[in-house]
Amino acid sequence: MEGVDYLAPERNNAQFDVDEMKIVWAGSREAFEVSDRIARLVASDPNFRKDDRTTLGRKELFKNTLRKAAYAWKRIIELRLNEEEAKRLRSFIDQPAFTDLHWGMFVPAIKGQGTDEQQEKWLPLAYKMQIIGCYAQTELGHGSNVQGLETTATFDPQTDEFVIHSPTLTSCKWWPGGLGKISTHGVIYARLITDGKDHGVHGFIVQLRSLDDHLPLPGITVGDIGMKFGNAAYNTMDNGVLRFDHVRIPRNQMLMRVSQVTREGKYVQSNVPRQLVYGTMVFVRQTIVSDASTALSRAVCIATRYSAVRRQFGSHNGSPETQVINYKTQQARLFPLLASAYAFRFVGEWLKWLYMDVTKRLEAKDFSTLPEAHACTAGLKSLTTSATADGIEECRKLCGGHGYLCSSGLPELFAVYVPACTYEGDNIVLLLQVARHLMKTVSQLGSGKMPVGTTAYMGRAEHLMQCRSDVKQAKDWLRPNVVLEAFEARAFRMSVACAKNLTKFSSPEEGFQELSADLVEAAVAHCQLIVVSKFIEKLQQDIPGKGVKQQLEILCSVYALFLLHKHHGDFLSTGCITPTQASLANEQLRSLYSQVRPNAIALVDAFNYTDHYLGSVLGRYDGNVYPKLYEEAWKDPLNDSVVPDGYHEYVRPMLKQQLRNARL
């Protein structure tokens, strides 16, 4: 029935103030109000309809994306939305587009690597969308290994220009979003060559297409790289291929904040670390962590609401069957994902703070926290995107057969999300960067240099190598200090074991290669510790609202004890806890699931997602799933006619043939 809230009994069970939790989730009252207003604006505008997306072919899908992007831009101007509001609007449209790369990478690359003059020239054009940009780093033959890029930018002192060239097939730019069909400009990464000398990879602003007729400029071959995983999903994006044939650009289009080339062709390195050329990646990895909490929370919201609606088995004397959410196995799969969504939200908030802090320091020429910022953004990007991709797929399974329907919203969410494990740095490659940082920190422990930031715990080396957990009963695992010490000891001992093993090899590089699987595990342990510790830190803040803090404490314990249970091999083999303590953790976890159960629906309501944004029949706010699934099925283009196209051509002759054979 329309207008009935089938999940009302669930909502009435909540033991906390959902409206206050919405504010905690959004980050502040103001952020909540902006997000809520913009989400409703998008949901109520038929121009942003998306329910037909999965049935469109690539060309229609792409054109539709362009239409939405243009309409969104018109609304942004008409409504005079500020930067934050415009960003929210683009995200609620929920359709990856060239604008993501324009605002998300092209603009930040110029801001981070351009000189003041370059910013003054290019940013106003980009802000008004008089030019549209992409970020073109990856090549057909080189993605992870940025230093291996082949595109060249050779300085010609005669004309005061750089000549951009793709010397081989493998040097073609390959993958940049927005490049395929739309970008007029790109920040292009190429090896800088002056006077025959290779100075490594630098960024250049290059115009790719005419601003009049959109045709590629002379010397440029550009196109789309083809269909990607999933039907609609990421195919709204024009990922591109680009080949340069001696394309000339003025010298002042090299991004010159980190290093410069003078009129005479002299290469000058500023007094800043060369790694700042990688700064845009640090920025984007930080945003990807917050986006992980958004993607995971969407999937969890769908799976939780549907699990409360869906009933299987357990009917006695005609009573309703059991809601599948009441099965302990369903809870043990679903509630850790719910807790992870909250955990990633808070670590994302913290990472944003860390990024802003490092940016301020860089402006003051303090580069000391750059390695920490790189390790944290790389590691947390890896940890949260892997967990989110796996989590979305788990949510699909939690919804049984109906989860496999596009109308559940889950297949598309998975297809659009899963490349996050690869883009902006392959997750394993990034964990190896964290491992390098950890090995460096461990190797410096004896030198008197105290570890800082998220590795500060390693400063308590002696204690962490010796400590034994004092857990005696299940509820001891609810004490934050007990949990924190177990995670610190596990992470530290895994790093120390790797460091010791590295010394057995003839060179550190050989050891690093040979032990890379162990190093990745040590890096994961360190990153999980960061997430747990930031959740615990969040709980030390003043959190208003009836029962809100208590629910978050429960979720924090679920997150930590779920990880401890999943990785108990690490905790046991490093001797941080005993088998008895491991089983007490599991006992406590079971009890926590029972505490989450009555609040589960309210905890996902706190994400404040509109039905438009969720795009899921199973995750509808009102829980009215079956009639809507039935309605949705009839909308499929295959049901436009009773007898399908092709029947008379292929099936009927076959049937007739069978009849004849049967008569024989």
Ligand X SMILES: CCCCCCCC/C=C\CCCCCCCCCC(=O)SCCNC(=O)CCNC(=O)[C@H](O)C(C)(C)COP(=O)(O)OP(=O)(O)OC[C@H]1O[C@@H](n2cnc3c(N)ncnc32)[C@H](O)[C@@H]1OP(=O)(O)O
Ligand Y SMILES: Cc1cc2nc3c(=O)[nH]c(=O)nc-3n(C[C@H](O)[C@H](O)[C@H](O)COP(=O)(O)OP(=O)(O)OC[C@H]3O[C@@H](n4cnc5c(N)ncnc54)[C@H](O)[C@@H]3O)c2cc1C
Catalytic residues: 424
Nearest to 528 by CA among 520, 539, 517: 520
Give residues with Cβ within 8 angstroms of 441, minimum separation 6: 451, 455, 458, 495
Contact 600, 306 (CB under 8 A): no
Size of the site for ligand Y (CB under 6 A): 22
> CA–CA separation, 636 vs 575, rounded Å?
57
Among 86, 136, 308, 375, binds ligand Y (CB under 6 A): 136
Site for ligand Y contains 125 (CB under 6 A): no
Give me the half-sphere count of Cα atoms (radius 13 Å) on the Cβ side of residue 522.
27
Contact 579, 572 (CB under 8 A): yes
Site for ligand X contains 35 (CB under 6 A): no
> CA–CA separation, 248 vs 155, rounded Å?
10
Site for ligand Y contains 234 (CB under 6 A): yes
Task: Judge whether 177 is annotated as a binding position.
Answer: yes
Helix (H, G, I), strand (E, B) or coil at 95: coil
**98: partner contacted, choices ligand X, ligand Y, none (Cβ within 5-8 A by kind):** none
Size of the site for ligand X (CB under 6 A): 31
Which residue's C-beta sits nearest to ligand Y? 143
Taken as a whole, the chain contains a residue count of 664
Site for ligand X contains 137 (CB under 6 A): yes
Indicate the angle between helix axes 548-566 and 516-539, nearest 10 degrees: 160
Helix ranges (DSSP H) in 102-159? 107-113, 116-127
Among 275, 323, 369, 578, binds ligand X (CB under 6 A): 275
Among 390, 426, 514, 622, binds ligand Y (CB under 6 A): 426
**239: partner contacted, choices ligand Y, ligand X, none (Cβ within 5-8 A by kind):** ligand Y
- Dmax over CA atoms of the chain, in Å, equals 94
* Six-digit token string for 574: 């490093």
Nearest to 135 by CA among 203, 204, 179, 187: 187
Q: 144 or 443: whose CB is closer to ligand Y?
A: 144
Nearest to 217 by CA among 174, 185, 188: 185
CA 460 to chain centre: 33
**433: partner contacted, choices ligand Y, ligand X, none (Cβ within 5-8 A by kind):** ligand X
Scan for tokens 């360190």, then name that residue: 526
Minimum distance from residue 145 beta carbon to ligand Y (Å): 7
Amino acid identity at 545: G
Site for ligand Y contains 244 (CB under 6 A): no
Q: 16 or 189: whose CB is closer to ligand Y?
A: 189
Query: Using CB under 6 A, which of the segments 207-215, 277-285, 487-495, 656-664 binds ligand X?
Result: 277-285
Task: Judge whether 151 is annotated as a binding position.
Answer: no
Contact 560, 537 (CB under 8 A): no
Q: 229 or 353: whose CB is closer to ligand Y?
A: 229
Site for ligand Y contains 230 (CB under 6 A): no
Nearest to 52 by CA among 42, 65, 41: 65
CA angle 25, 29, 33 (to 5 degrees): 95
**414: partner contacted, choices ligand Y, ligand X, none (Cβ within 5-8 A by kind):** none
**186: partner contacted, choices ligand X, ligand Y, none (Cβ within 5-8 A by kind):** none
Among 36, 85, 100, 518, binds ligand X (CB under 6 A): 100
Site for ligand Y contains 267 (CB under 6 A): no
Minimum distance from residue 520 beta carbon to ligand Y (Å): 9
Q: Which residues bind ligand X (CB under 6 A)?
A: 94, 96, 100, 135, 137-138, 144-147, 177, 275, 278, 281-282, 291, 295, 370-371, 374, 412-413, 416-417, 423-425, 429, 433, 436, 615
Q: Which residues bind ligand Y (CB under 6 A)?
A: 101, 135-138, 143-144, 175-177, 234, 239, 419, 422-426, 428-429, 432, 516
Task: Point out the annotated binding site for FAD.
Answer: 138, 177
